[in-house]
Amino acid sequence: MNRLHQLFQEKKNLLSIFFTAGFPNLNDTQTIISELSKSNVDFIEVGLPYSDPLADGPTIQDSSQIALQNGMNLDIVFEQLKAIKETNSTPLVLMGYLNQLLKYGEDKFCQACVDCGIETLILPDLPMIEYENHYQQLFQKYGLTNVFLITPHTSDERIQKIDSLTDAFIYVVASSSITGAQGEISNQQIAYFERIKAMNLKSNLIVGFGISDKKTFDTACQFANGAIIGSAFIKNVESTGVNGIIDFIKSIK
């Protein structure tokens, strides 16, 4: 049982925070993880800066571009995460894109994750058929779990298939758009959450995209095991720096 599995068994209303490694400054990655851990965030989603982040909105895209300009690359990310492994007790989830894994080398990438204490990956553009035919076996070899995303347009049949392939959690995308704060959760989104909850899936559910404050977080938690906040957190770091992290988390939970 990995740490994320244990976390889902022990707690409800889990709060996860997404941030881009190397933003706002190249060496802020470890500081941000440390501050989030002090704030009792349940797990942390570390974003790998990428030049073409298709699933991300302007805020995360900008943070990714700044991180790349700062000189961030996968070698440095893995070095930073490995350096904090022994002192960090908060589970880390790595979010990136399939091309990053391919260019780095599949086995080299997976081994680097293991060396850093990473147990779970989110690769939004990983096709399910590729996962079944190849990556499921590869990830199992290294003890890694994979997270699939579903949206309001995902068919029940595909959701059931994803549920059967899920070992970590299903990422419930709150809207059909890219990431970014959307204001309040709409009645249409609540109907979507209710539809997913009524399916009685075996997998844990985490809501993301558009979760930005206590109100939207609390609403999402009515229908899932917790929620991820990304763009709103990055905006806060941009405006207040790493010193404002603890106050931001207190405003949510």
Torsion angle (degrees, nearest 10) of CA 48, 50, 53, 57: 80
Catalytic residue among 45, 62, 86, 194: 45
What's the one-letter identity of residue 176?
Answer: S
Q: Are 126 and 153 in contact (CB under 8 A)?
A: no
40-63 as b/e, with b when 16 or more CB fall inside 10 Å? Answer: ebbbbbbbbbbeebebbbebbbbb
184 is known as an active-site residue:
no
HSE-CB at 146 with a 13 A cutoff on CA atoms is 28
How are beta strands 43-47 and 14-20 bridged, if at all? parallel
Q: Are 22 and 64 in contact (CB under 8 A)?
A: no
Closest C-alpha among 222, 220, 202 to residue 211: 220
56 is known as an active-site residue:
yes
Catalytic residue among 28, 35, 56, 119: 56
- Residues that are catalytic: 45, 56
